[in-house]
Amino acid sequence: MPQSPVIRKVGLAVVLAVAAWAGSGALGFPRVFQVMFATYVALGLAVFLLLDAPPMPRLSGRAAVAALVGFYLALSVVYIGGASLLPQYDPAVEKGKIEKILKRKRDRALADRRATAALLARVGQLQAQSDHLATQLARFAPAGTPMADRMTGMAPDAPAERLTVTERGAEVYELYECYNCHKIGGKGSVKKRGPVLDNIGGLLTINDIRKKILDPAYLYAEGFEKEHKKGRMPDKYRDLMTEDEVLSLATYLSTLKNPAVDTPRPVFVRADVQHGFTVFGYVRDAAGAGVPGVEVRAAPMVKGGHAASGTTNDGGYYEIFLHMHNENAGATVAVSARGVTKKFVAEYDPGDATTRRQQSVDLTVADPARA
Ligand code: HEC
Q: What is the pLDDT of residue 144?
A: 47
For atom 12 of ligand 1, which residue has the closest CA? 194
For atom 23 of ligand 1, which residue has the closest CA? 221
CB-facing half-sphere around the CA of 187: CA atoms within 13 A: 5
Burial-class residue 316 by CB neighbours within 10 Å (0-12, 13-18, 19+): buried
How far is residue 226's CA from residue 369's CA, in Å, rounded to a whole number?
A: 52
Is 268 within 8 Å of 219 (Cβ atoms)?
yes
Is the C-beta atom of 228 inside 6 A of ligand 1? yes
How far is residue 65's CA from residue 229's CA, in Å, rounded to a whole number?
A: 107
Distance 221 CA to ligand 1 centre (A): 8
- Classify residue 139 by its DSSP letter: T
Distance 197 CA to ligand 1 centre (A): 9
How far is residue 97's CA from residue 101's CA, in Å, rounded to a whole number?
A: 7
Is the C-beta atom of 182 inside 6 A of ligand 1? yes
pLDDT tens, the chain, 371 aa long:
455 778 889 999 999 999 999 999 999 888 888 999 999 999 999 999 888 888 888 888 899 999 999 999 999 998 899 888 776 777 787 788 788 878 888 888 898 889 999 999 999 999 988 888 888 887 766 554 444 444 544 444 444 557 889 999 999 999 999 999 999 999 998 778 899 999 999 999 999 999 999 999 999 999 999 999 999 999 999 999 999 999 999 999 999 999 999 999 999 876 666 778 999 999 999 999 999 999 999 999 988 888 999 999 999 999 999 988 888 889 999 999 999 999 999 988 888 888 889 999 999 998 765 54
Is the C-beta atom of 268 inside 6 A of ligand 1? no
Total-model pTM:
0.59
Q: What is the pLDDT of residue 142?
A: 56
Distance 181 CA to ligand 1 centre (A): 7
Distance 228 CA to ligand 1 centre (A): 9
